[in-house]
Amino acid sequence: MTESTYRIQGATGEWEVVIGLEVHAQVTSNAKLFSGAATAFGAEPNTQVSLVDAAMPGMLPVPNMECIRQAVRTGMAIDAQINKWSRFDRKNYFYADLPQGYQISQLYHPIVGEGQIEIVLDEKNPEASTKVIGVERIHVEQDAGKLMHDQHPTRSYVDLNRSGVALMEIVSKPDMRSPAEAGAYLSKLRTILRYVGSCDGNMDQGSMRADVNVSVRRPGEEFGTRTETKNVNSVRFVMAVVEHEASRQVDVLEAGGKIVQETRLYDPDRNETRSMRSKEDAHDYRYFPDPDLLPLELDDAFLEACRQSLPELPDAKLRRYAQDLGLSAYNAATLTADADTARWFEALLAEGARIQKKSEGEVAKASANWLLSELYGALNRLGKSLEDSPVSPEEGAELLALIADGTISGTIAKQVFEIMLETGDKPGKIVEEKGLKQTSDTGAIEAAVADVLAKNGDKVEQYRGGKEALFGFFVGQTMKAMQGKANPQVVNELVKKALAG
Amino acid sequence: MTDLTDLTVAEIRDGFRAGDFSAREVAEGFNANVAAAKALNAFIVETPEKALEAADAADKAKASGETLGQLAGVPIGMKDLFCTQGVQTTAASHMLEGFVPTYESTVSGKLWAAGAGMLGKLNLDQFAMGSSNETSYFGDVISPWRRNDGGNASLAPGGSSGGSSSAISARLCPAATGTDTGGSIRQPAAFTGISGIKPTYGRCSRWGVVAFASSLDQAGPMARTVRDNAILLEVMSGFDPKDSTSLDLAVPQWEANLSSDLKGKKVGIPKEYRPDGLNAEISAMWDRGIEWLKDAGAEVVEVSLPHTKYALPTYYIIAPAEASSNLARYDGVRYGQRDLPDGAGLQDMYAATRALGFGPEVKRRIMVGTYVLSAGFYDAYYTQAQKVRALIARDFEQAFEKCDLMLTPTAPSASFALGEKQADPLAMYLNDVFTVPASLAGLPAMAVPGGLDSAGLPIGLQIIGKALDEQTVLNAALAIEERAGFSARPDKWW
């Protein structure tokens, strides 16, 4: 565990920032939390609305157990207490996007209790930069609809497609102390949600958004008054909000002012937060248990099934990559930061081990390096993601096997890979058709070496006179003469022998 | 030939099957009675064509030898709290005037599927809030009963199912649906000399029934005989996956198991139900009821329900609290009334719409409910009321260790004149004093007529049973029905 040294230098001394995040994550499910209506993103307004979502008279909510299951699995993934008995409450307020006049949520008895998330601030130095952030609770609740103010000069329209969609509200403890920690927490939470499959984590589509609670204090003193900046929808923006809001608060306090506990909005264009116009009165939500719903009681079999369905989680996977596969801490972190990347890597690994008849540990390093440098480089260039990679894990593994068994050199492999990207052909076929197989024919290589030495008599003299750095030059010239197809190890040996001669 | 509208549900069902008359004849008879009874104001919408349509379907099914539904040939009235597809559903409010559901409530759907036909949508207290049917936006329902003092005072049919009780006792329909939140089936039944049962909470689906207080609302039948109630309740009950509070249990064969032999049954008489100043005629009727049950073979024991005196205040916290939230959806945004004054913003629209759409009693309860749930008062009122509710339920559990059913009065008085209690809401709320405890405990309870008081008005008795034991409730009510021989009916003046 590390202590943050992030401080804001005010005119009157140092300030420490205290951050807590409330993350709303849309539960991945085909249907809404209490109705059978669909949840597709981007559908035409009011086409994903059931009678329940529109709060027609006499309609009743029925919990969608898939949403409950996903919340429980998420809780298990952050080592949280799962409450076998939880209950739904109504949060009462009037707004045009809230058809029932109340949101069904869980105030008093959330489904998931305390848990924790481990963040790493410097992936190259994990031991020295790991911190555990507490999670207070996770509860499930309904999303509201959406108001559209730009459709008519004097009227607003209501789209109820999102009304009733299941959200998990994941509430952290006020354990973060810097923008970097807040960013790392949100990224890590997103990673976990995507591993578990309980939320797609698409922040730009609004499936994940954060309310950022920020306060400042003199180091070691009591918590200050906090503000809450609502609906921040990217990791970068969360970090910007913390930075901006903390320094704003310091300015206020140092000018002798007081921080007002209030809700603020972030304006990414101006990179500032501003106070939301306060509603007429402070809201009294009149929470009370929803009488349309029975308490939610989960049995052991359900919990066990949830546990069994969990995949290997990012922390465990990272440890395994570093310890069992021998990858560097950085590579292990990069490969496990995203569920899709890890899945791709493991497919590459499995196929590589299979065709090379080796253990996964034996092929891991070369596979990781190739994926992170060659493949990522190519994808970046092409503006593609791993999901739509033109090369499959199987093809990648075949290419790596050709290098490993000496059929082609690393240099030729780069050429082959380019051709794979262009044509979609399999590496073996490319090597065969283009005659790229490397040679270990010592006779041919010896001839080439002799030729190179003969043409560069002056350099031979210099080398023999002690300028050993020229060794690489002779190797390079030989490889060039062999059109890159010579086995580099054999070339090394023969060049050394000839120069010694 | 007998007047078909004098027949009970069982008689219509059996007579139709035996070919004594056609379903169409029955429907036409009741349609005519409905059309001639405007003075009672029992219906908000009349649907004679629906009754005929179902009757013709029943006649056709019978002619072609098809299997007949349990209620084939039986026309009924539908309380206007049940959403009916294609037929205006208002909850007797201006708020929902003109609202035509695109869906059918589970309970009404079951009745139509069993072959019943709809005579119309019955008037009620607005959003089922009231005990005299004086809070309907569509006007008071008048009881067909009058005092024998020669006066012509219009009397209350009880509430909130006052359209149902008035229509049944006036022979406008042989049976009807009711809903009961704190006594809204039982008290109107008692006021009009008919029977009605509120089953165990969760027996009948609440899906598609306009909500008043979710944890208390329960649908049930109202009819002139115990057997008719059993027949209807069997059709109305059953698990509904669309209602989370619906009981996933098989529906018993209540009608087939009716028996007025109560040998071996113990009848509990809760001593707290006989307060000082209990109306002497009500008290005398209760004593007569005890004798009837003894005569049927039951043993009578005294039991205690010590928290009874807290039941009414508890109910009038919990029910308004839930109502204040349940009625928030009537906001003028999606359906129903909308009042949008010039230049109004959203908040103004809410205020104007709700001021226009809700009647005074509904507003009163929304305000009470909002108050008891608000910060600073929640624990003192709502939390406390929930605790007392649990104690009341425990009272019943403990008492039922000593008895199989309980006998009590249904209402503290016979029907009163319209307007008589309007000025004092608390006096009105006292009407529910005997019915509310069973509602809070979710227990089955039934009203059955016992006789007439000195003013010539019906007074009834209430049977309360153990959870899920509707059979014992029905059987005890049958024993009373057989012994009371209640055959009085209101003289037709309308």
- Tell me what the pLDDT averaged over chain B comes to: 97
Express the helix, strand and coil content of chain B in percent, nearest 5 each: 40, 15, 45
With beta carbons under 8 A apart, name residues in chain B contacting A90: 325
Contact B350 A294 (CB under 8 A): no
Q: How far is B19 from chain A (nearest CA, A)?
A: 39
Contact A101 B334 (CB under 8 A): no
- List, for residues B255-305, the tens digit of each pLDDT value: 999 999 999 999 999 999 988 888 999 999 999 999 999 999 999 999 999
Contact B374 A100 (CB under 8 A): no
Query: What is the per-residue pLDDT for A278?
Result: 60
Which of B90, B373, B389 should we substitute to test contact with A (largest number of A Cβ atoms within 10 Å)? Answer: B373
Once rounded to an integer, what is the mean pLDDT over residues B17-23? 97
- Show which of residues 289-308 on chain B sit within 8 Å of chain A, judged by CB atoms: none
Once rounded to an integer, what is the mean pLDDT over residues B331-338? 95
Q: Is B88 on the interface with A (CB under 8 A)?
A: no
Is the interface score ipTM higher than 0.90?
Answer: yes
CA dist A91 and B289 (Å) reads 47
Q: Is B247 on the interface with A (CB under 8 A)?
A: no
Q: Kindly indicate the confidence band of residue B306, based on its pLDDT and cuts at 50, 70 and 90.
A: very high
Does residue B9 surpass a pLDDT of 60?
yes
Contact A56 B214 (CB under 8 A): no
- List, for residues B102-158, the tens digit of each pLDDT value: 999 999 999 999 999 999 999 999 999 999 999 999 999 999 999 999 888 999 999
Contact A57 B242 (CB under 8 A): no
Residue % of chain A over a pLDDT of 90: 73
CA dist A147 and A157 (Å) reads 6
Q: Kindly indicate the confidence band of residue A2, based on its pLDDT and cuts at 50, 70 and 90.
A: low
CB pairs under 8 A between A and B: 98
User: Smallest Cα–Cα separation from B32: which of B17, B18, B46, B13?
Assistant: B46
Q: How far is B248 from chain A (nearest CA, A)?
A: 13
Does residue A177 contact residue A17 with C-beta atoms inside 8 Å? yes
Identify each DSSP E strand in B115-194 by its residue range: 117-122, 175-180
Question: Tokens 């008589």, residue?
Answer: B420
Contact B378 A158 (CB under 8 A): no
Amino acid at A42: G
CA dist B407 and A459 (Å) reads 119
With beta carbons under 8 A apart, name residues in chain B contacting A292: 211, 214, 244-245
Does residue B206 surpass a pLDDT of 80?
yes
- List, for residues A433-490, the tens digit of each pLDDT value: 887 887 777 888 888 888 998 898 898 889 888 888 888 899 888 888 888 788 888 8
Q: Which of A60, A280, A293 sits opposite B206 (nearest CB)?
A: A60
CA dist B297 and A109 (Å) reads 50
- Tell me what the pLDDT averaged over chain A comes to: 92
Segment holding A66, helix H or strand E: helix A65-77
Contact A62 B91 (CB under 8 A): no
Q: Is B346 on the interface with A (CB under 8 A)?
A: yes
A266, two tokens: 């972030």
Which residues make Cβ contacts (< 8 Å) with residue A147, sequence separation at least 6?
A96, A97, A156, A157, A158, A159
Amino acid at B295: D
With beta carbons under 8 A apart, name residues in chain A contacting B322: 291
Of the candidates B22, B136, B160, B205, the residue annotated as catalytic is B160
Does residue A154 surpass a pLDDT of 90?
no
Q: Which residue of A has its CA nearest to B371?
A: A286
Once rounded to an integer, what is the mean pLDDT over residues A270-291? 81
B79 is catalytic: yes
Chain A positions contacting chain B at CB under 8 Å are 51, 54-63, 90, 92, 94-96, 99-102, 156, 158, 280, 284, 286-288, 291-294
Segment holding A68, helix H or strand E: helix A65-77
Does residue A281 surpass a pLDDT of 60?
no
B304 is catalytic: no
**Three-state SS at A422:** helix
**Three-state SS at B75:** strand
- List, for residues B74-98, the tens digit of each pLDDT value: 999 999 999 999 999 999 999 999 9
Query: What is the per-residue pLDDT for A280?
Result: 46
With beta carbons under 8 A apart, name residues in chain A contacting B105: 58
Contact A62 B215 (CB under 8 A): no
Does residue B413 surpass a pLDDT of 60?
yes
Output the CA torsion A187→A193→A195→A201 (10° steps). Answer: -70
CA dist A469 and A295 (Å) reads 77
Q: Tell me the Cα Rg of chain B.
A: 21
Does residue A116 contact residue A105 with C-beta atoms inside 8 Å? no
**Three-state SS at B452:** strand
- List, for residues A350-402, the tens digit of each pLDDT value: 999 999 999 999 999 999 999 999 999 999 999 999 989 999 999 999 999 99
CA dist A480 and A471 (Å) reads 14
Query: What is the per-residue pLDDT for A3?
Result: 74
Identify each DSSP E strand in A4-51 by its residue range: 8-10, 13-26
**Three-state SS at B262:** coil
Contact A292 B83 (CB under 8 A): no
Question: Tokens 């509120």, residue?
Answer: B198
Question: Tokens 């007074």, residue?
Answer: B459
Residue % of chain A over a pLDDT of 70: 98
- List, for residues B418-460, the tens digit of each pLDDT value: 998 877 888 788 889 999 999 999 999 999 999 999 999 999 9
Which of B240, B333, B358 should we substitute to test contact with A (largest number of A Cβ atoms within 10 Å)? Answer: B333
- List, for residues A33-88, the tens digit of each pLDDT value: 999 888 887 889 999 999 999 999 999 999 999 999 999 999 999 999 999 999 99
The number of CA neighbours under 13 Å toward the Cβ of B220 is 37
CA dist A79 and A75 (Å) reads 6
Which residues make Cβ contacts (< 8 Å) with residue A263, sequence separation at least 6?
A227, A228, A229, A230, A275, A276
Q: Is B328 on the interface with A (CB under 8 A)?
A: yes
Once rounded to an integer, what is the mean pLDDT over residues A399-415? 89
User: Smallest Cα–Cα separation from A347: which of A367, A321, A327?
Assistant: A367
- List, for residues B226-261, the tens digit of each pLDDT value: 999 999 999 999 999 999 999 999 999 999 999 999
Question: Tokens 């006998």, residue?
Answer: B407
Does residue A146 surpass a pLDDT of 70?
yes
Q: How far is B351 from chain A (nearest CA, A)?
A: 11
Does residue B372 contact residue B378 with C-beta atoms inside 8 Å? yes
Q: Is B239 on the interface with A (CB under 8 A)?
A: no
**Three-state SS at A229:** strand
User: Smallest Cα–Cα separation from B184: which of B108, B120, B127, B244?
Assistant: B127
Contact A291 B208 (CB under 8 A): no
With beta carbons under 8 A apart, name residues in chain B contacting A291: 213-215, 322
Residue % of chain B over a pLDDT of 90: 95
**Three-state SS at A335:** helix
With beta carbons under 8 A apart, name residues in chain B contacting A63: 244
